[in-house]
Structure 1
Amino acid sequence: MSQVDQLSDENGNKRTKYEEGEIKKIKGTVVLLKKNLLDFNDPAASLTDRFDDFRGHKVSLQLISAVNGDPGKEFRGKLGKPAYLEDWITKITPLTAADVTFNVNFEWEEEVGVPGALLVKNSHHNEFYLKTVTLEDVPGHGRIHFVCNSWVYPAEYYKNDRVFFTNQTYLPTETPQPLRYYREEELLTLRGNGTEKLEEWDRVYDYDVYNDLSEPEKGPEHARPILGGSTEYPYPRRGRTGRPPAETDPRYESRLPLLKSLSIYVPRDERFSYLKLSDVVAYGLKSVFQFLRPEFEAQFDSTPSEFDSLEDILKLYEGGIKLPDFPFLESIRREIPLPMLKEIFRTDGERPFHFPMPQVIEEDKTAWRTDEEFAREMLAGLNPVVIRLLQEFPPNSKLNPKVSNDEASSKTKERMEENLEGLTIEEALKCNKLFTLDYHDALMPYLSRINLTSAKIYATRTLLFLKSDGTLKPLAIELSVPHPDGDQLGEVTEVYTPAEHGAEGTIWQLAKAYVAINDSGYHQLICHWLHTHAAIEPFVIATNRQLSVLHPIHKLLHPHFRDTMNLNALARQTLINAGGLLERTVFPAKYAMEWSAVAYKDWVFPEQALPADLIKRGVAVEDPKYPHGVRLLIEDYPYAVDGLEIWSAIKTWVEDYCFLYYKTDDMVQEDSELQLWWNEIREKGHGDKKNASWWHKMQNRKELVETCTIIIWIASALHAAVNFGQYAYGGYIPNRPAMSRRFIPKPGSLEYDELESNPDKAFLKTVTPQLQSILGISLIEILSRHTSDEVFLGQRDTPEWTADKKTLEAFGRFGQKLAEIEDRIISMNSDENWKNRVGPAKVPYTLLFPSSEVGLTGKGIPNSVSI
């Protein structure tokens, strides 16, 4: 009898008995996705592969020993004999993307022993997506599972055959010796050499600055500063594409033509799935306006490009706007021959530009105009991450201490104190009852340039009082512009207080609109793009370059990076580039990305932790008596209340996970891959923020847990909080206009007369015009949707993502905790004592509700920055 007899694995399952002299086989199952007949780029792919297979075996797999090294090959794991996928020809390839299962039989070789990895060689002409490989009845072990989730291109494109590891987890020093070579070689492949041109089949993760947003060959109007690599414009790094430099200015990278945007390089495994891509294309068709804009503008020029009334805007949701025929549409149809174009080029008689009803006006068409809803959205709306405690009155600028707005603020002190429930300003300050939404210092340095464009913007500062019922009441709004005779003379500031009737009431509504415009631009460019999309990309790159797929921290973080690089690459191509959609729909226009780079100077990694952020903004204080270690000064602050619950759940899960693999602080310090990863993030990924005081030192388990918790928080909950409410609140332009075209009119002017006689028309002539409104609504409708392949916090797309039972148990507890949080959110939203959770507009706060259905739901926390 062989030494391999009838054994039991750790689960007590019986293993197959093998007899000496027989050819022993290990049965395997391979699940993959073929390149299908409806592939966007290659419709003949599957047919070519079928022809290939008539000429012999085309997909081979070889097991790599985890226990026996080959002395002749530096003791790297011994290789088993090649095994081949069976029935490739007879398996029918679906017209749409779908998994196909194949059998494979490996010859058991005792000198190989228990495998820890496998080599895959693809000799077809086309790539396939390898999902899993499962071995049954492996002698001495039992069942072995490989989670692959990777595109495998024809072998001619690779220097080495593709290697995949089992779902075991190993720190570098604990990796079985026969697998260490393969672990290190794989990381070298993923790093690349930093110089080669990158092709679609490449798997290289590397860094670059944002030098790909401009098109210098088109002239100065298309030039933008390079972001990253300078003290003036620091920025997180983005993924390198390997495209050649621009011909007219080699400092910049050349750009792809717009219609080839989907071909922009990202490592192949970072690309959207077929399902995600079809969703993004289908919902993104309205954004085709980007390159149709001149023709549409020419059409709109023949008629007023304004909404004449609020009822006109409602037609966007109740019936749609019918546009005239455009003779150039046929050429566009030929350029993009996708059936999904019907979304924008309707041929069925339906009106285009028919949008879903935004939640903010679904129950009540006028509640958005109330002061209560205006203030509530600072705590429970689309951008609840900026409001802070007012520390002094009058609030002064830190830009130039010599420039004071004392006089303007003091004029209104008496009127403000009428709304402080009997308190003086000084008493309200002392009681932590005054708060501010302050964009003065962030915007003032840019206003002179922005206001030379078609925009007419104020820098705003809003003061609010925390009432005894827990709601906020606006007290005053300061509107500031640079002095017309020069910055050396300071600024001109007007202060407005609440009013309900007549011209004063209309001007107060305009003042709130100017605040919303500031908030809208700051939200989109800084709170959303910079603090989530851009900030997280270096972590994606560094994790793939420095942490093996066998590493526990790679396994922990990997789901939180899904689709981010692809999404950001597409954004650079069509959204944040010179002349892109963001420049056309938010007020900073050509200064948009430059403005976000200046804001990055204040970004500090440890302050991205939710408790640290709340304390920094003064809306919470440290207090160990409270469950999360902080006490909220605004008890009914839905974002903070729900956020602290989610933060705590993530941190508990991360701590449980990390402590399973790191028994001591020394193990953190001695983990070579972890230390290289953390150093690369600071020195390269966020290379403009190298100051050691801005980062954890990564010397103990506490710092590791805090670091991973922050990364997961940014990628999941923070992004969800500032993204998926965009349509609910911003889909109705009057509630969150993105630009203003004129200042408050002066008494005696024709504009002031119109303000008195037709307030709504005056309001609409001030804020975002019709074309930009349609562009903006189209964009945020796309950004607010959950696609059909979304994976939410507490879930994994692969159930067997690890073989460690204790890890899976801890992950199960994390999921249970999130379900409990969902129940609590539902309960609190139903409790009328929590007035800020629903508010006058009847929009319940669900942006940090962990799960969601597909579509425009206004809830759900995806694992990653995936839209």
Structure 2
Amino acid sequence: MCPLNLQNLLRLITCKISRGGSEGIVARSENSEKVVVRGRAVVVKKKVLDLKDFRASVIDRVYEFLGRGVSVPARQFSQCRFSPTLAGELSYDVTFEWEEHVGVPGALIVNNSHHSEFFLKTITLEDVPGAGRVHFVCNSWVYPTRRYKYKRVFFSNQTYLPCNTPEPLRIYREEELANLRGNGSEELKEWDRVYDYAYYNNLGDPDKGPEYARPVLGGSSTYPYPRRIRTGRRATKADPKTEKRLPLLSLNFYVPRDERFGSLKMSDFLASALKSLAQVLVPELKALFDKTPNEFDSFQDVFDLYEGGIELPTGLMSKIKDAIPVEIVKELLRSDGEQLLKLPLPQVIKDHHDTLMPYLNRINRTTTKTYATRTLLFSREDGTLKPLAIELSLPHPQGEKRGVTSKVFTPAENGVEGSVWQLAKAYAAVSDSGSHQLISHWLNTHAVIEPFTIATNRQLSVLHPIYKLLQPHFKDTININSLARQILINAGGILERTVFPSKYAMELSSFIYKEWIFTDQALPVDLINRGVAVPDSSKPHGLRLLIEDYPYAVDGLEIWSAIQTWVHEYCSFYYSNDEMVKNDTELQSWWTELREVGHGDKKDDPWWPKMQTLEELTQTCTTIIWVASALHAAVNFGQYPYAGFLPNRPTISRRFMPEPGTPEYAELESNPDKAYLKTITSQLPTLLGITLIEILSRHSSDEIYLGQRETPEWTSDLEALEAFERFSEKLVEIETKILEMNENIMLRNRTGPVNVPYTLLYPSTSDYSKVGGLTGHQGGFKVRRWEFESDCLFQNVKARGQSEISTNGDVELGTRHRESPFESRLKRITPDCQFEPSFCSENNGFNSKLEMNTMGLRGCYTVVRSYQGWTVVFSGLCSAIRGA
């Protein structure tokens, strides 16, 4: 239904209302020099779940900036129509009188004269004289005019380097960038669109007490750090250098309005948070009646967390149980290293020794008791790794100048020696999990990318080709990082309570950032630096892997090469020589600001590319895209499947290794399970840790994956579109390669002992169901609610009644696949057959084409409305099973 105030609004701007007419028709008016151009504006209501809440106005005026810059007012609006394509979209037909000689529209100005904001998605003009179809990708919230000190300008999908920009457009291009930079002084509000920098001075809360004070990260040689988005909030009373914090559960922190989560992303996040909160509360309530609260009494207590509602990947729990003998956690931390969150780095030594040693005394003065660790691994002929020894080190009790004290532990199977070896592996896993979460994940893929996001929006116009190349890879970065600063990495936040560095966690990440080098983030350089590859021009990608069956490296190099080719083809289209790179004023300002401000604490480091050649530009953009997409996928989306069982991946150690002759050593002899559980993460931090990695490992419903774009009209340049299509096709080829390698039983590291295929770098470019992707192609069932049947891209689907449609991820079949809960029945189905199941009428179901192949089962489900609410009925799968 249309907003009731639309006609009154249009009367205010003296526009007539069109009650009919065909789309895309150019009609000659009585004045032969004018044509009537018709178009379509697509907006989204303020609250997607409430149609009646949308009361925002649409477009007042379109401005033409080419030629003489003549403004052309909108002459007619038709009644709005509810679009069946996406939830909450409203489509308006709009008509303009156009004089042919004024040229092609290059930008438009939108004024919102009402009191409510609206989200302007696209504007499309059809059959514009001399141009044909002109498309504007807006994707922006437009607030009432009183909220802005400038005009809201939107540019068409044309691409221009600064030197090629038509003069009327150039003025608005520069003004828009100035508006996005802001004045650097005001506290920023919800409707602001300012991108600016600040130190990490908002993690502590000294007004709450001295124990909540934290050092400012960034702006000093002691605590260097990448910059974050500025909010402009006032300082705390206790410390003028610390920014005042919002209430813990407040989501009203400032981010530029268009950087906030979309409605689907936010609903997904809140739903996941509520689900996870319930999982924390229920066991904690039970603990009130436990004789040993906040402690696991047995491994059954640990299993109860998952069997009571926390779901690990299908079939994994039974395999974990089968792998744990009664007498001790013999396979809990497998001797072949498969327990580690990411595949063990195939090096001779896995070293967290020098990283932790400077902080170890301070960390161990908290409730944490941990070691700096080194692990010696043996590379076997089949490419798998076997631990040979683990070194546990502490600072010398007579002072750090005296060095360290170390003990070395070697594998043992039985008796107390076997229990000691299990604890040694647990201490190594604690070091590795903390390093992973703080460094590999947060620092190397979140914190370091935020300055790139800020600089790109401040210095590169939306008309700039590099903006169009990079911007999709920064989606949600600022919002996610701001959310992390609010509830995860703040003083007393979840991270400090769930990883071993405790209150020193962020300080430790600052210490590691001192050694961060941008150019080392390129995958080939990283593999060489870590000693797992050597340069070899005769090999694909110019590298020879020292362990050939290293899935992260094998898949990663394929992805890296595809990105590099795409970026080179794209950049070469706009920059035909190095001089064009040097003379691009926006590009040079972007790179200068990024080095000197965004990563200002490292501005004098000699390794920064000079950005003087096409090769430097290509390599830089390839690295940025790799870090923001593939690297992040590899370190984030596998956390729950690989580390969701916390005894298998402890994050905190609470006691040192027991010494012979002590009560703790006697307990290790008599009750090794109890001793192990009293050493690793306790109950509440375990629950918080599980909750955190479960939320982090989830995909949102509005993900855009590598090789996909939100709109096919993201640029008007055919050459760029064709290069992107080649990139997408290459990623689909890589999908096939990965699946084939995961089927190869000779590649033992592809699946590991528990038969979990390595799919974290599976692109899923071919899958538009939004349930997988390069960000971690997960198995098992995932239900997505669709508002309209047309949203389901699965073919031959017909929905009726209250049915809603979802496409699911892969359910793996066969002895070398993950097995679903319906394993026994699925095994009876021929892998390559097809089903045309019919559904019971009482389910209000729909007919679907259910395809099965060796890669898995895909289908559609129905969601049935009942008096109890929405009930998920896996009709497609159940019908197939009943017919088996």
TM-score, length basis structure 1: 0.82
Q: Which runs of 5+ in 1 are unaligned?
A: 1-13, 50-57, 70-76, 321-352, 390-434, 863-867
Query: CA 1:807 to 1:817, structure 2 compared with 1: closer, same or farther past 3 Å?
Result: same
Contact conserved, 2:259 with 2:475, CA < 8 A, in 1?
A: yes
2:102 match: secondary structure: coil
Task: Find out whether 1:214 has 2:204 as its counterpart.
Answer: yes
Q: Which residue of structure 1 aligns with residue 58 of structure 2?
A: 59
Aligned partners of 1:291, 1:221: CA distance in 2, in Å?
A: 25
Query: CA 1:290 to 1:208, structure 2 compared with 1: closer, same or farther past 3 Å?
Result: farther
For 1:808, the aligned partner's letter is: L
Task: Find out whether 1:490 has 2:500 as its counterpart.
Answer: no
Match 2:43 to one of 32, 36, 60: 32
Match 2:263 to one of 269, 274, 280: 274
Deviation at 1:302, TM superposition (A): 6.0
Q: Which residue of structure 2 aligns with residue 81 of structure 1?
A: 73
Aligned partners of 1:854, 1:24: CA distance in 2, in Å?
A: 42
Q: Which residue of structure 2 aligns with residue 315 of structure 1?
A: 304
Deviation at 1:761, TM superposition (A): 1.6
Q: Which residue of structure 2 aligns with residue 21 of structure 1?
A: 31
1:386-397 matches, cutoff 5 A: 387=345, 389=347
Q: Which residue of structure 2 aligns with residue 382 of structure 1?
A: 341
Deviation at 1:734, TM superposition (A): 1.3
Task: Find out whether 1:138 has 2:128 as its counterpart.
Answer: yes
Q: Which residue of structure 2 aligns with residue 687 of structure 1?
A: 600
For 1:315, the aligned partner's letter is: D
1:467-478 matches, cutoff 5 A: 467-478=380-391
1:108 match: secondary structure: strand
Task: Find out whether 1:197 has 2:155 as its counterpart.
Answer: no
Contact conserved, 2:216 with 2:223, CA < 8 A, in 1?
A: yes
Aligned partners of 1:214, 1:289: CA distance in 2, in Å?
A: 28
Query: CA 1:235 to 1:793, structure 2 compared with 1: closer, same or farther past 3 Å?
Result: same
Q: Which residue of structure 1 aligns with residue 292 of structure 2?
A: 303
Query: CA 1:820 to 1:711, structure 2 compared with 1: closer, same or farther past 3 Å?
Result: same
Contact conserved, 2:368 with 2:652, CA < 8 A, in 1?
A: yes
Aligned partners of 1:488, 1:289: CA distance in 2, in Å?
A: 49
1:599-610 matches, cutoff 5 A: 599-610=512-523
Deviation at 1:647, TM superposition (A): 0.4
Contact conserved, 1:786 with 1:853, CA < 8 A, in 2?
A: no
Kindly provide the CA deviation profile for residues 46-97 of structure 1, in whole angstroms up to 9, marking residues without a partner as x. 2x55xxxxxxxx433433334323xxxxxxx221124464325xx5699x95
Aligned partners of 1:440, 1:755: CA distance in 2, in Å?
A: 26
Deviation at 1:140, TM superposition (A): 1.6
Aligned partners of 1:86, 1:718: CA distance in 2, in Å?
A: 47
2:136 match: secondary structure: strand
For 2:180, the aligned partner's letter is: L
For 1:523, the aligned partner's letter is: H
Match 1:234 to one of 224, 233, 239: 224
Contact conserved, 1:373 with 1:839, CA < 8 A, in 2?
A: no
1:705-784 matches, cutoff 5 A: 705-784=618-697
Deviation at 1:365, TM superposition (A): 2.9
Deviation at 1:20, TM superposition (A): 5.9
Deviation at 1:615, TM superposition (A): 0.7
Task: Find out whether 1:163 has 2:153 as its counterpart.
Answer: yes
Query: CA 1:859 to 1:146, structure 2 compared with 1: closer, same or farther past 3 Å?
Result: closer
Q: Which residue of structure 1 aligns with residue 567 of structure 2?
A: 654
Q: Which residue of structure 2 aligns with residue 265 of structure 1?
A: 254
Kindly provide the CA deviation profile for residues 229-249 of structure 1, in whole angstroms up to 9, marking residues without a partner as x. 000110000000111111221
Query: CA 1:172 to 1:377, structure 2 compared with 1: closer, same or farther past 3 Å?
Result: farther
1:259 match: secondary structure: coil
Deviation at 1:173, TM superposition (A): 0.6
Aligned partners of 1:759, 1:383: CA distance in 2, in Å?
A: 27
* Stretch moving more, 302-311 or 139-148: 302-311
Deviation at 1:250, TM superposition (A): 1.3
Aligned partners of 1:30, 1:608: CA distance in 2, in Å?
A: 42
Aligned partners of 1:292, 1:210: CA distance in 2, in Å?
A: 31
Deviation at 1:362, TM superposition (A): 5.0
Aligned partners of 1:85, 1:492: CA distance in 2, in Å?
A: 79
Deviation at 1:684, TM superposition (A): 0.5
* Stretch moving more, 478-487 or 632-641: 478-487
Query: CA 1:472 to 1:354, structure 2 compared with 1: closer, same or farther past 3 Å?
Result: closer
Contact conserved, 2:667 with 2:675, CA < 8 A, in 1?
A: yes
For 1:783, the aligned partner's letter is: L
Contact conserved, 1:132 with 1:148, CA < 8 A, in 2?
A: yes
TM-score, length basis structure 2: 0.81
Q: Which residue of structure 1 aligns with residue 557 of structure 2?
A: 644
Query: CA 1:134 to 1:856, structure 2 compared with 1: closer, same or farther past 3 Å?
Result: closer
Contact conserved, 2:333 with 2:426, CA < 8 A, in 1?
A: no
For 1:605, the aligned partner's letter is: F
Deviation at 1:387, TM superposition (A): 3.2
Q: Which residue of structure 1 aligns with residue 792 of structure 2?
A: none
Q: Which residue of structure 2 aligns with residue 116 of structure 1?
A: 106
For 1:247, the aligned partner's letter is: K
Aligned partners of 1:843, 1:853: CA distance in 2, in Å?
A: 24
Contact conserved, 1:359 with 1:843, CA < 8 A, in 2?
A: no
Query: CA 1:246 to 1:44, structure 2 compared with 1: closer, same or farther past 3 Å?
Result: farther
Q: Which residue of structure 2 aligns with residue 805 of structure 1?
A: 718
Match 1:107 to one of 73, 77, 97: 97
Query: CA 1:858 to 1:699, structure 2 compared with 1: closer, same or farther past 3 Å?
Result: closer
For 2:631, the aligned partner's letter is: L
Deviation at 1:839, TM superposition (A): 1.2
Aligned partners of 1:287, 1:248: CA distance in 2, in Å?
A: 34
For 1:67, the aligned partner's letter is: L
Q: Which residue of structure 2 aligns with residue 74 of structure 1?
A: none
Q: Which residue of structure 2 aligns with residue 837 of structure 1?
A: 750
Q: Which residue of structure 2 aligns with residue 860 of structure 1?
A: 775
Deviation at 1:293, TM superposition (A): 13
Contact conserved, 1:289 with 1:775, CA < 8 A, in 2?
A: no
1:67 match: secondary structure: coil
1:788-803 matches, cutoff 5 A: 788-803=701-716
Higher relative contact order (CA 8 A, sep 6+): 1
Aligned partners of 1:45, 1:242: CA distance in 2, in Å?
A: 30
For 1:490, the aligned partner's letter is: G
Kindly provide the CA deviation profile for residues 648-698 of structure 1, in whole angstroms up to 9, marking residues without a partner as x. 010011001000110011100000000000000000000001125221110
Aligned partners of 1:156, 1:270: CA distance in 2, in Å?
A: 21
Contact conserved, 2:74 with 2:94, CA < 8 A, in 1?
A: no
Flag as ranges the 4+ runs of structure 1 deviating above 6 A: 289-298, 852-859
Deviation at 1:453, TM superposition (A): 1.0
Deviation at 1:484, TM superposition (A): 2.4
Q: Which residue of structure 2 aligns with residue 447 of structure 1?
A: 360
Contact conserved, 1:619 with 1:634, CA < 8 A, in 2?
A: yes
Query: CA 1:290 to 1:219, structure 2 compared with 1: closer, same or farther past 3 Å?
Result: farther
Aligned partners of 1:625, 1:759: CA distance in 2, in Å?
A: 52
Query: CA 1:372 to 1:764, structure 2 compared with 1: closer, same or farther past 3 Å?
Result: closer
Q: Which residue of structure 2 aligns with residue 355 of structure 1?
A: 311
Paired-residue identity, %: 61
Aligned partners of 2:495, 2:77: CA distance in 1, in Å?
A: 48
Deviation at 1:283, TM superposition (A): 0.2
Aligned partners of 2:306, 2:311: CA distance in 1, in Å?
A: 5
Contact conserved, 1:785 with 1:854, CA < 8 A, in 2?
A: no
Aligned partners of 1:300, 1:664: CA distance in 2, in Å?
A: 73
1:122 match: secondary structure: coil
Aligned partners of 1:161, 1:474: CA distance in 2, in Å?
A: 63
1:675 match: secondary structure: helix
Deviation at 1:315, TM superposition (A): 1.5
Aligned partners of 1:806, 1:743: CA distance in 2, in Å?
A: 62
Q: Which residue of structure 2 aligns with residue 365 of structure 1?
A: 321
Contact conserved, 1:135 with 1:145, CA < 8 A, in 2?
A: yes
Deviation at 1:489, TM superposition (A): 2.6
Aligned partners of 1:360, 1:297: CA distance in 2, in Å?
A: 25
Contact conserved, 2:64 with 2:107, CA < 8 A, in 1?
A: yes
Q: Which runs of 5+ in 2 are unaligned?
A: 1-23, 325-329, 778-884
Aligned partners of 2:507, 2:769: CA distance in 1, in Å?
A: 35
